[in-house]
Structure 1
């Protein structure tokens, strides 16, 4: 049975949470940094100890964050003014008397502007067994990654395709005037509705597969965390399996999404793609794209098939050593072998619907560690691509400068006549930390990019100093300049 949280129920639960301070700040203050960090590592004992002195807030922490048993009297007091009987009747709680436990995962989630509460299903550890097919995930690493990768510029309309617990839509309400959220799972829609009501947010909810619920509609922005797990065509769990084989789920979203954008609209999603023997992954994903679509594919990781299968079995609460786990792993690995899959790529896709202009398509690896969120960089990338499209024929007349965040690194090796430079590498120290190896002539050219002389004059000076013609130097320099502009490592003045 899917839970139904009425507006009155949510109002009373919200009052209880506010009264007890059950929010991100309150939980952090009650637990302290050491216990909070240990909880994030999956080590709850310090949090149990710290919460014992936190009164009614401690009761809620042990119930909803630690999976503990609590007494009827303690829970009744902590949830007031929400009647305990209502909490049991909706499935928010389970058990009886001195063994009351959470029936759903309800936890604070916030950003720099404030707090929300997110309602989802309990994970396999809390349940003590594998999750059911209609399981609705909490806010995991994939959700957080997409949140950080999403562009946050004001828009009128935004679609959250496959909303799950609703967390992407929560953040979307900060910058979108109207938010629509869809899902194929009735349970996901019920829990998302609870999330939105608990946070007093008006989000349009629609049920259906893929883009069917919004047929003939267009949006300024679309975000999507699809069921992107790759493998045989099956649906064991609705949160991860699409029923489509291989990476067809990611391909479907990339292929269809631009048609539901207004011109200039942006779509962003998590996606997976196969690394198949004899095929370049960039060629594979580029074939998914419709016409008139700028696309930026950023590959964050490539998983070995064996590691990939084990990870997703454990995610569902299935022991890979069990008979069921071995059978599922064998079928999965057989499929990979038959399809000649050497790895599974994972990353972010940013799409923009253009007019009739020639689109820009870039596929690149970003597997190095970096801390900055990708969302602002995605917006800047789109801006730089638009600038290049408008001014691409005027690069020689443009004055460029190298930002202060870009450094030139040199690697020198000893030789018969002393040290000599073997590697020159441009390194952007902010954002994703892009790096480009360049030669001596390019280093000299970029040294002159101070926003004073146009590129054509710098090439003339370089030709005099290093020989060759300015035209030959320009033919070599312009592709490099375009790439450095896209990566924010040189910028027009």
Structure 2
């Protein structure tokens, strides 16, 4: 069990194989803080993990729905919401499936985005971060489908590594009709997963020799009113 400060004076519990809040969570939480949320605004946290971003939105009075594709994450997010005494609806399922037909004022997502050799795991901790050879296994469908789940004027906040390619994300969002831009960038040290894949990443031209940091980006995409 990992216990992390949620940045709001509380804590988030993440059992084994559930993604615990890290640099990307913190960066996305700061972007979330900048967004105007009216009381009762509908917020979707897609790929909630332990639920840190869902809790942050619920503390601001939003009506929050959180989705994750692993049962362990769903149970962890429900537990954290209960411990924080915050009303968060937590659903099990893949991407937009559990909320089909619903629209939101704000969608936040910290999906798996780490480039990985081989098949994507189904029953290991790496399911929380591995996303295919280019890291875009979940990013691409999010970019294609987010606009259908946003109200006019609604906003998508998305975090991922520049290793996945920032231009493809911006282009995909633009094709779907959203106005997208990079709002935040942060260099962070490679974690153990990227360090262990250094040779493979260099072979694919994703990192240079001796490179030890990755750039995280926040992309904000808005649907026209």
TM-score grouping bracket, smaller chain normalisation: 0.7 to 0.9
Which of these residues, 202, 206, 218, is aligned with residue 348 of structure 1? 218
1:285 is aligned to 2:169: yes
**What is the DSSP-based 3-state SS (H/G/I as helix, E as strand, rest coil) of the residue aligned with 1:153?**
coil
Q: Tell me whether 1:172 sits opposite 2:57 in the alignment.
A: yes
Aligned to 1:241, what secondary structure does the other structure show?
coil
In structure 1, the residue matched to 2:99 is: 214
Name the structure 1 match of 2:6: 109
The Cα of 1:256 is off from its aligned counterpart by 1.8
Alignment of 1:39-188 (within 5 A): 104-111=1-8, 115-121=9-15, 135-150=17-32, 151-154=35-38, 155-188=40-73
Q: How far, CA to CA, are the matches of 1:346 and 1:109 in structure 2?
A: 19
Partner in structure 2 of residue 229 of structure 1: 114
Q: Which residue of 1 aligns with 2:144?
A: 255
* Of 341-350 and 180-189, the range deviating more from structure 2: 341-350
Preserved CA contact (<8 Å) 1:299 1:345: no
Uncovered stretches (5+) of structure 1, i.e. residues with no partner: 1-103, 122-133, 356-493
Question: CA separation of 1:298/1:233 partners in 2, compared to 1, >3 Å: closer, same or farther?
Answer: farther
Q: Distance in 1 between matches of 2:44 and 2:67?
A: 8
- Structure 1 runs (4+) deviating above 6 angstroms are none
How many angstroms apart in 2 are the aligned matches of 1:301 and 1:139?
16
Task: Please give the secondary structure, in 1, of the residue aligned with 2:141.
Answer: helix
How large is the Cα RMSD of the aligned pairs? 2.8
User: Larger Rg: 1 or 2?
Assistant: 1
The separation in 2 between residues aligned to 1:109 and 1:332, in whole angstroms, is 31
**Per-residue deviation, 1:342:** 5.5
- The Cα of 1:196 is off from its aligned counterpart by 0.9
Pick from 103, 116, 134 the counterpart of residue 246 of structure 1: 134
C-alpha distance in structure 1 between counterparts of 2:170 and 2:21, whole Å: 30
Aligned residue in 2 for 1:93: none
Query: How far does the alpha carbon of each residue in 1:19-46 deviate from its partner, in whole angstroms, 9 at most, with x for none?
Result: xxxxxxxxxxxxxxxxxxxxxxxxxxxx
CA contact (8 A) 1:270 1:349 kept: yes
Deviation at 1:140, TM superposition (A): 1.7
Label 1:158 to 1:353 Cα distance change in 2 as closer, same or farther (>3 A): same
Separation in structure 2 between the aligned mates of residue 241 and residue 262 of structure 1, nearest angstrom: 30
Q: 1 CA distance for matches of 2:69 and 2:29?
A: 21
Kept in 1: contact 2:115–2:164 (CA 8 A)? no
Instruction: State TM-score, norm by structure 1.
Output: 0.39
Could you tell me how far apart the structure 1 residues matched to 2:187 and 2:76 are?
A: 32
d(CA) in 1 for partners of 2:108 and 2:94? 15
Report deviation, 1:198. 1.0
Relative to structure 1, the CA distance from residue 225 to residue 164 in structure 2 (aligned partners, 3 Å threshold; closer, same or farther) is: same
Following the alignment from structure 1 to structure 2, what is the Cα–Cα distance between the partners of residues 208 and 196?
18
- The aligned length equals 211
Q: Between the two structures, name the one with larger relative contact order (CA 8 Å, sep ≥ 6).
A: 2
Instruction: Kindly provide the CA deviation profile for residues 220-254 of structure 1, in whole angstroms up to 9, marking residues without a partner as x.
Output: 11111111112435335022113x33142323322
**In 1, Cα distance between the equivalents of 2:185 and 2:55?**
25
Q: CA deviation at 1:274?
A: 4.4
Query: Could you say if the C-alpha distance between residues 195 and 232 of structure 1 is closer, same or farther in structure 2, counting changes exceeding 3 Å?
Result: same
- 8 Å Cα contact 1:267/1:350 also seen in 2: yes
Alpha-carbon distance in 2 for matches of 1:177, 1:299: 23
Query: For structure 2, which runs of at least 5 residues remain unmatched after alignment?
Result: 209-213
Give 2:211's aligned residue. none
